[in-house]
Amino acid sequence: MSDQKKESFVTEITPRSEDFSRWYLDVVRRAELADYSPVKGCMVIRPYGYAIWEHIQRLLDARLRKTGHVNAYFPLFIPESLLMREKEHVEGFAPQVAWVTRGGDEELEERLVIRPTSEVIIGTMYSKWVKSWRDLPVLINQWCNVVRWEKVTRPFLRTTEFLWQEGHTAHETDAEAEEETLRILEIYKSLAETDLAMPVIDGLKSDSEKFAGASRTYSIEALMGDGRALQAGTSHHLGQNFAKAFEIQFQGRDKTLHHVWTTSWGVSTRLVGAVIMTHGDDSGLVLPPHIAPYQVVIVPIPRGNWKETVLPKAEAIRDDLEAAGVRVKLDATEENSPGWKFAEYELRGVPLRLEIGPKDIEKAQVFSARRDTREKSAIPLAELSTRVPALLEEIQANLLARAKAFRDERTREVATWDEFKAAMEGRPGFVIASWCGMAECEAEIKAETQATLRNIPLGSPRQNGQCVKCNGPSGVKAWFAKAY
C-alpha cells in the first residue's frame, strides 16, 4: 500500500478525538445511515440506518405490547383551533409548527398544523371514546412522523421531520397515571441499557425543562462520547390539563363525572444518533448486537478454487447461524479484497466478523474478530452455533459496561459553586450538585456555565443540603451537564 493510499484511507473519517462533530457526520454518511435531502433540515434515512431503527422499534414495541399497550394511527394534520385549546402547550409548540394554509387551489377556512406531537388530536378523540370508568385505562401508542420547524439541525439528533413513537394514555386516577408514567420510563431505561447498551439516568425534569402542558416530565439522560448529555426519552404525566382542555370526562364508580388523568411519552430516531455517539470509535460505527442489521459478517478468503471449497463452507456456516437465530451477512463479492471488506464492515459497526479460508477449513475452524475489542480468535466449526450467540451477548454486555465505566469516570459530585464551575470546564460529563429547586438558580447556572439541569434521578434520597448556587436549603441533588 502506497503512502498516498494510506493517506486517503485515514482521511475518510475524521478521527473522533480530533473533531467529534465532524466524526459524527462522517460516520453517518460513510456508514450509509442517512443522507441530506433537498429539503432544509430533513434527512433521508438510508436502508442501513433504517434497519437499526426497525430493530429499535421491534424491541420497544414488544415491551409496550407486553404491558398492555396497543398501536393506532391518528391524522398528520391538526386544525389550528385544537392546538390553541391548552395554553401552555400552544405557547411551547406554536413557534415551531409548520402550517398548511392552502389545499389545491383554495385557501383553507381554517389553517392546519402538521403535528409536532399529537396530544391535542388524540385528546379530542379520547373525549368521544371515554364515557365510563369501564373505558379506562386507554393505552394507545402510535408510530409516526412529526414536524418541528427547527433552526439548527443535525442528522438523527435534531431534524425538522423525525420518526418516533408517542404513547398517549388516560386513567381513572392521578396515582394510576403516575404509575404509568414511571412504568414507561422504566421501559425506556430497559430498552436503552439492555438493547442499545447505553446507560441512562432516569429522573425528574425541573419545571423549566418539562414538556409544554405537562404536570411532570421524567427523562432518561445518556452521556455521549464527547462528554455532552443527550435526552434520550421522555415520559410526561399530564395531570388533568389536557383532560380539562379537551373535556375528557367519565362517569366514575361514584356515579359522578370526573376528568381523566393522562400521560404521554416518546422516543425518536434520535436514539440512532445516541448509539453512534455512545459506542463509535475512530474506525467508525460500533453497533450493539441487539440492534445491528447484521450481527455477523462472513468474509470468505478467495484463494485457488475457493468457489468450490471455501464458498460452500461459508454458505453452510451462514445457514447454521441463521438457524441459530443470528442475523448474518455473507459477503462473497469478488470486487474487493478481504482487507477492504474488513475495514468496510468495521466502519459499519458489524459486531462480529468471521473469516474463512483454506487454512481454516484444514483446521475445521473459522477466524473471528470482535468489533468492540478487536480481539481475534479461532472458533472450531463444531462450536459455532453455540459460541457465536454467546459471543454476541458478551459483546452486548461489554459495550454497556464500557459505556457505563466511561460515564462514571466523567461524573463528579461537587459541593461549592467554585467546584461546580471548575468541573464544568470543557465538556466533562455529568456534575452532581445540590439544588434548591428555584428556577432562578437553574437559569444562572446555565448562563454562567452552559450546563443545564438534566434531571433529578429517581430514588434520590432527600437531604438537608445547601444549593450549589445560592447556598439556600436544598432537598435534592440534581445532575447537570452540557447537553445536545
Q: Which is nearer to RNA, 61 or 150 (CB)?
A: 150
Q: How many residues does the chain have?
A: 484
Residue found by looking up cell 425534569 in the block: 205
Q: Decide: is 374 part of the binding site for RNA (CB under 7 A).
A: yes
| Interstrand relation of 257-259 and 249-251 (parallel, antiparallel or unpaired) | antiparallel
The binder of RNA chosen from 103, 312, 339, 380 (CB under 7 A): 339
SS3 124: helix
**Reading across the β-sheet that carries 98-103, which strands appear in turn?**
77-79, 106-114, 98-103
Q: Please answer whether residues 282 and 298 qualify as being in contact, where contact means their C-beta atoms are separated by less than 8 angstroms.
A: no
Q: Decide: is 283 part of the binding site for RNA (CB under 7 A).
A: yes
Q: Whole-angstrom Cα distance, residue 216 to residue 210?
A: 6
Q: Decide: is 99 part of the binding site for RNA (CB under 7 A).
A: no
Whether residue 137 has a cis bond before it, omega within 30° of 0: yes
Q: Decide: is 308 part of the binding site for RNA (CB under 7 A).
A: no
Q: Decide: is 377 part of the binding site for RNA (CB under 7 A).
A: no
The least distance separating RNA from the CB of residue 54, rounded to whole angstroms, comes to: 17
What is the four-CA torsion angle of 19, 25, 27, 30, rounded to 10 degrees?
Answer: -130
User: Which residues make beta-bridge pairs with 325?
Assistant: none
The least distance separating RNA from the CB of residue 90, rounded to whole angstroms, comes to: 13
Consecutive H or E run containing 147: strand 138-147
Q: Decide: is 87 part of the binding site for RNA (CB under 7 A).
A: no
| Interstrand relation of 70-71 and 138-147 (parallel, antiparallel or unpaired) | parallel
Q: Decide: is 95 part of the binding site for RNA (CB under 7 A).
A: yes
The least distance separating RNA from the CB of residue 46, rounded to whole angstroms, comes to: 12
Q: Whole-angstrom Cα distance, residue 264 to residue 314?
A: 48
Q: Please answer whether residues 123 and 240 qualify as being in contact, where contact means their C-beta atoms are separated by less than 8 angstroms.
A: no
Strands (E), 363-475: 365-370, 376-380, 411-413, 430-435, 452-457, 465-466, 473-474
Q: Which is nearer to RNA, 202 or 346 (CB)?
A: 346
The least distance separating RNA from the CB of residue 249, rounded to whole angstroms, comes to: 27
The binder of RNA chosen from 182, 301, 438, 470 (CB under 7 A): 301
The least distance separating RNA from the CB of residue 370, rounded to whole angstroms, comes to: 9
Residue 179 Cα to chain centre, angstroms: 23
- 205 to 224, contacts with RNA by CB under 7 A? 209, 211
- 263 to 282, contacts with RNA by CB under 7 A? 266, 268-270
Binding mask 231-270 for RNA (x = CB under 7 A): xxxx-------------------------------x-xxx
- 136 to 175, contacts with RNA by CB under 7 A? 148, 150-155, 157-160, 162, 164
Q: Decide: is 335 part of the binding site for RNA (CB under 7 A).
A: yes
Which one of the spans 6-14, 319-327, 383-391, 430-438 is the region binding RNA (CB under 7 A)?
A: 6-14
Q: Which is nearer to RNA, 378 or 405 (CB)?
A: 378
Q: Decide: is 347 part of the binding site for RNA (CB under 7 A).
A: yes
What is the four-CA torsion angle of 54, 56, 62, 63, rounded to 10 degrees?
Answer: -160
Q: Decide: is 5 part of the binding site for RNA (CB under 7 A).
A: yes
Which one of the spans 119-127, 227-235, 249-257, 316-324 is the region binding RNA (CB under 7 A)?
A: 227-235
- 423 to 482, contacts with RNA by CB under 7 A? 446-447, 450
Q: Which is nearer to RNA, 165 or 434 (CB)?
A: 165
- 10 to 39, contacts with RNA by CB under 7 A? 11-12, 21-22, 24-25, 29, 36
Question: What are the backbone dihedrals phi and psi of residue 381, each rounded to the nearest 5 degrees, phi first?
Answer: -55, -40
Most distant CA pair in the chain, distance: 84
Q: Whole-angstrom Cα distance, residue 301 to residue 357?
A: 5
Q: Decide: is 334 part of the binding site for RNA (CB under 7 A).
A: yes
Which one of the spans 5-13, 49-57, 61-69, 460-468 is the region binding RNA (CB under 7 A)?
A: 5-13
The least distance separating RNA from the CB of residue 334, rounded to whole angstroms, comes to: 5
Q: Whole-angstrom Cα distance, residue 40 to residue 50?
A: 20
